[in-house]
Structure 1
Amino acid sequence: MYNQKNFKQVDDQIRILESRGMIIPDYDRCKQYLLTNNYYNIINGYSTYFQTSTGDDQYIKGTSFDEVCNMYSFDNEVKQTMFRAILNVEHHLKSIFAYRFAESYPDKRYSYLDINCYSNEKTLSVGYIISQLSRIINKQKKYPNNSIHHYVNHYDDVPIWVIIDYLDFGELVTMIDCVPKKLQNKIAKDLTSFIKDNLPDFKGQFTPEIMISLVKNIRETRNVCAHNNRLLEFRCRADSMYFPAIYEKYNIKPNGLRKRTFSIFLSMQCFLSKTEFAVLSNTLRKRFKHLSNQLKSIEITEVESLLGFPDNWQNHSTIVQGEI
């Protein structure tokens, strides 16, 4: 037997919130907000952070509906900010990968469909990515007015720098993970220009293993943002590999947690220009500061903890945003 959740009118939903101690500053505005934003997403997703520890669904004294809405908006704004930065990460990776792959196989048609152009240790993943690339070409060549159709019909080949724009981030990460170590080393070496730009004192090594580990967690975070899932409390499936250049500065130890939003944010210094990372950092800082001014019943440090950020992170100084 299942306990069925019966439909409730918005007025009934508001009465439930009030019975649990939530303050409704503007009844009509609350009603419209719940109607257009989904009670389940707002209340079940974000009001729990304002509840007491008694386990009876009661809210902390003084909790208002506006605070819950501000928390919901904050999570959305952070996701949008992270997503924009991740698009830049994806752009840089696609450009570097396409160049280095083409350089490695300059005279081979459809080189990325050749199993010999990949690592022998990744047979299953190689089979998957070759299948995906073939599917993309077979689909796109049917339609005129796109670059794949043009190259297939005029050159009987689609260069890597053309098909790369048709790959999603997951397919790109799989390709990087599957190419030979020599090629991965070249990509990682190219990315050190970003690391040195953001961390001028960097003199260590950026290995392919660290690069791929960081990129995989960036990809997981990207999917949360793109699918509009809740970023608060999100954790990647595994900790990224320890990279002292970015983690030591923030006192993150080798045995510390590296699967939260904060560590993903830090890792993007390896894939963004100094200006791009400054925009990301300063925008997030403003988002935290704005929410801090809106909260009354809980502290901003509690929200920072939900994303893995250190206490009072929003009070850190801004990073100078120069020219790209």
Structure 2
Amino acid sequence: MSQYSKPYRAVADQIALLQSRGMVIDDVPKATEYLSRLGYYRLSAYWYPFRQTTKSANGAVVVLDDFKPGTEFKWATDLYAFDKTLRLQLLDVLERIEVFVRTGVALTVGKHDPWAHREPKLLDRRFTSKNPTSGKVPHTDWLARLDDKAIGSKEEFAGHFRTKYPKSHMPIWIAVELLDFGPLSHFLAGLKWVDTNAIATTCGVPRPDLFASWVRSLSVVRNTCAHHARLWNKPLIDQPKLAAGGAVPLLDHLATAPHTNRRIYAACAIARYLLLAVNPRTQWSQRLKAHMATFPTNPYVTMNTMGFPKGWESLPLWK
């Protein structure tokens, strides 16, 4: 592995470097403010699409340091601002879905036993059996992380429970409040088919594995948003499964273009569909459409990198 050798650069030197590579910076004081406040490395993800490319001898695309003709610093900061608002809008809808799933898990699993989440016989065998590759039991690891949270949580309800019931584990309807979206999605996938299906049905999702896949994908998007990471043109790390044609008519259009489920549009569409059950009166879809209409214009970047199909805002899903 090569040793990192790039030198430290003060903000003035960063600006000089960008200019030497062909970036147009008309307002140096404002560029200085952005680089001082947000950082070169964070912003570099937003000017990356404006870098020139070439092909190697074997045909692979090579990204160069120099920028495409006319590239402006403002284009990158406009994309940054657009992405920030997009993350905030998605956090709003994903919070609603997360709380809905938490409640669904508590009501569905809790009726079997207050501590059903600790009982392997009440969960899916794949979740409670040893993984042949890692040699670990997913449920055991998941439960250990939950118990660590129960012991260390500074939430008032957790402290109250520890004081009042020092010899008891939390029942599922309390323990579920300790779960972030990621661990919650893992537990959802670890439920028995009938239980996952019961929750999925309330959202109009025809298969429990489909529902678990969607929730898992959305949990990863939520983590991206919560950590203020780039979202707008980033491939989905955990790609959601697509329903068979006709199974979820409002989402049939996701299967009409290749790799549609790899981009953020798929997450937005799935979130919108689930929101129809979770909070049907919300105006989130209208806010998203209004925000997407503000997508920054420049010669080199379009909304296609986000997976939004042409005319998406007129589809029945978004009306």
Structures share a fold, TM > 0.5? yes
8 Å CA contact 1:191, 1:271 repeated in 2:
yes
8 Å CA contact 1:282, 1:318 repeated in 2:
no
Q: Relative to 1, partners in 2 of residues 1:284 and 1:248: Cα closer, same or farther, differing over 3 Å? A: closer
Secondary structure of the equivalent of 1:58?
strand
Query: Which stretch of structure 1 is more off in the superposition, 92-101 or 180-189?
Result: 180-189
Secondary structure of the equivalent of 1:67?
helix
Q: Relative to 1, partners in 2 of residues 1:151 and 1:247: Cα closer, same or farther, differing over 3 Å? A: farther
Residue identity matched to 2:51: Q
Q: Identify the residue that residue 47 of structure 1 maps to in structure 2.
A: 47
> Which whole-Å CA distance do the structure 2 matches of 1:142 and 1:270 have between them?
32
Two-structure CA RMSD over aligned residues (Å): 3.1
8 Å CA contact 2:242, 2:255 repeated in 1:
no
8 Å CA contact 1:247, 1:253 repeated in 2:
no
Residue identity matched to 2:93: A
Q: Percent identity?
A: 20
Q: Relative to 1, partners in 2 of residues 1:319 and 1:191: Cα closer, same or farther, differing over 3 Å? A: closer
Q: Relative to 1, partners in 2 of residues 1:278 and 1:316: Cα closer, same or farther, differing over 3 Å? A: farther
> Which whole-Å CA distance do the structure 2 matches of 1:53 and 1:85 have between them?
37
Q: Relative to 1, partners in 2 of residues 1:36 and 1:191: Cα closer, same or farther, differing over 3 Å? A: same
8 Å CA contact 2:273, 2:317 repeated in 1:
no
Q: Relative to 1, partners in 2 of residues 1:256 and 1:67: Cα closer, same or farther, differing over 3 Å? A: closer
Cα-to-partner distance string for 1:182-210 (whole Å, 9 max, x where unaligned): 21221112222xxxxxxxxxxxx611011
Runs of 4+ in structure 1 over 4 Å off: 140-145, 246-249, 274-278, 312-320
Q: Identify the residue that residue 271 of structure 1 maps to in structure 2.
A: 274
8 Å CA contact 2:250, 2:316 repeated in 1:
no
Cα-to-partner distance string for 1:201-226 (whole Å, 9 max, x where unaligned): xxxx6110111111111111112112
Cα-to-partner distance string for 1:234-279 (whole Å, 9 max, x where unaligned): 2234542222425654352396431321111111134323656863
TM-score when scaled to structure 1?
Answer: 0.79
Q: Identify the residue that residue 179 of structure 2 maps to in structure 1.
A: 167
Query: Which stretch of structure 1 is more off in the superposition, 270-279 or 207-216?
Result: 270-279
Q: Say whether 1:121 aligns with 2:126.
A: yes
8 Å CA contact 1:85, 1:276 repeated in 2:
no
Q: Among 287, 290, 293, which residue is 1:286 paired with?
A: 290
Q: Among 50, 60, 67, which residue is 2:75 paired with?
A: 67
Query: Which stretch of structure 1 is more off in the superposition, 123-132 or 95-104?
Result: 123-132
Q: Which has the higher helix share?
A: 1
Q: Relative to 1, partners in 2 of residues 1:115 and 1:266: Cα closer, same or farther, differing over 3 Å? A: same
Residue identity matched to 1:126: H
> Which whole-Å CA distance do the structure 1 matches of 2:64 and 2:212 have between them?
44
Cα offset for 1:165? 0.9
Q: Relative to 1, partners in 2 of residues 1:222 and 1:3: Cα closer, same or farther, differing over 3 Å? A: closer
Query: Which stretch of structure 1 is more off in the superposition, 22-31 or 303-312?
Result: 303-312
> Which whole-Å CA distance do the structure 1 matches of 2:225 and 2:235 have between them?
13
Alignment of 1:73-222 (within 5 A): 73-105=81-113, 110-123=115-128, 124-140=137-153, 146-149=159-162, 152=165, 156=168, 158-192=170-204, 206-222=206-222
Q: Identify the residue that residue 131 of structure 2 maps to in structure 1.
A: none
Secondary structure of the equivalent of 2:293?
helix
Query: Which stretch of structure 1 is more off in the superposition, 206-215 or 114-123?
Result: 114-123
8 Å CA contact 1:62, 1:297 repeated in 2:
no
Q: Identify the residue that residue 264 of structure 2 maps to in structure 1.
A: 261
Q: Identify the residue that residue 309 of structure 1 maps to in structure 2.
A: 308
8 Å CA contact 1:50, 1:297 repeated in 2:
no
8 Å CA contact 2:220, 2:238 repeated in 1:
no
Residue identity matched to 1:29: K
Alignment of 1:211-250 (within 5 A): 211-243=211-243, 244=245, 245=248, 248-250=251-253
Query: Which stretch of structure 1 is more off in the superposition, 133-142 or 26-35?
Result: 133-142
Q: Identify the residue that residue 201 of structure 1 maps to in structure 2.
A: none
Cα offset for 1:95? 0.8
Q: Relative to 1, partners in 2 of residues 1:16 and 1:311: Cα closer, same or farther, differing over 3 Å? A: farther
8 Å CA contact 1:288, 1:314 repeated in 2:
no
- Where does the alignment leave 5 or more consecutive residues of structure 2 unmatched? 55-62, 129-136
> Which whole-Å CA distance do the structure 2 matches of 1:239 and 1:138 have between them?
33
Secondary structure of the equivalent of 2:67?
coil
Q: Relative to 1, partners in 2 of residues 1:145 and 1:229: Cα closer, same or farther, differing over 3 Å? A: closer
Instruction: Give the count of matched residue pairs.
Output: 298
